[in-house]
Amino acid sequence: MPEILTERRGHLGLITLNRPKALNALTTDMCREFLDALLQWRNDPEIAQVAVMGAGERGLCAGGDIVAIYRDILDRSGASADFWRIEYQLNVLIDEYPKPYIALMDGIVLGGGIGISAHGSHRIVTEASRCGMPEVGIGFFPDVGGTHLLARAPHAAGRLAALTGMKFGAADTIALGLADSYVPQEKIPDLLAELETQPAAAVLADYAQSPKPGFLHEEWVQSFGEESIPAVVHALERNHSPQVQEALKALAAACPSSVRLAEELIRLAGADLRTDLQREYRAAVHRLDDPDFAEGIRAAVVDKDRNPQWTETVLGQTPAQRTQRHLAPLPGAELTFALLAEDLEEKSHS
């Protein structure tokens, strides 16, 4: 079966991620087909808006194929750099898309799944949504523009999301600025049918409801605004509520070098997604050389022992030097947005 399905339904272009057994995890070929479909529909007068959804009942997308990244760390084929190059260009195309882009963030939406949804113009969550950027748990960092998005979230909440990798329900995903509207899961088929003929804004005005409250509005979340991680832990350690304990457990399990890198990337993030993705691309490619990334993937999905052994010191570098190394210029090609530029060039001469 094709891993990306594209359909024309009236004036709606529908993209379905079709790897349900892998929770629709993204591959390079999927990202390229996704990008190609959006480029084709961008100037198509018969397509008024685009929607994306995931096949199966578990969710939109669990992120990128990290087993493939692990193989690339071992054999250094360059496959990961190619994957990120296409994926990040896709993220920018979604962010800059001239037509309504409706992301159905039903079920699991993690990592790369955030990248293909949260940059859209109309982002819909349901009661089944579990959204987040869990990369610090595998020795990586919130990429696909994740540092750009979380830098714009309310500070303490964005920092909690980045440094714990926790999953959030509908209300909290909206509070983080990663989604806009809540629609009950049972209404999604009807919503899609109306999008075939009606504008997204009008349809959502009819279907959007108020989700059940989350927890990001609770006072303890502000402890994540403390200056240092030890200060965050000190502020929370006497609070025994289940959610606080979950946050503390996730923070303790997160890769320390990933936490430091995520904090620095969020600190540097600005208003321009392209610039922030170019910085993330440097960090991602450099991260292939950091032992914590391979170890995190190994523990999570290769050996599955869930017991990563993080490396405190690399080549005698201080923690700050280790973080800054990820921001250095690449020995190979930097991220450009060539595919998008080439397409625009072709359109201008056609």
Query: DSSP character for 296?
Result: H
Q: Which of the residues 54, 112, 139, 145 is marked catalytic?
A: 112
Is 143 known to be catalytic? Answer: yes
Catalytic residue at 64? yes
CA 18/CA 2 separation, integer angstroms: 7
Per the CB < 8 A criterion, the answer to whether 196 and 14 are in contact is no
Catalytic residue among 143, 194, 280, 343, which? 143
Let me know if 135 is a catalytic residue.
yes
Question: Which class for 152: exposed (0-12), middle (13-18), buried (19 or more C-beta within 10 A)?
Answer: middle
CA dist list (Å): 133 to 136, 138, 161, 216, 235:
8, 11, 7, 15, 23
Tokens of 199: 């504008």
Q: Which of 95, 106, 135, 180 is catalytic?
A: 135
Residue 225 annotated to the active site: no
∠ CA 142-145-149 to the nearest 5 degrees? 85
CA angle 117, 120, 124 (to 5 degrees): 60
Cβ atoms 50, 102 nearer than 8 A:
yes
Catalytic residue, from 13, 54, 63, 64: name it.
64
Report the half-sphere exposure of 213 (CA within 13 A, side-chain side): 4
- Residues with a known catalytic role: 64, 112, 135, 143
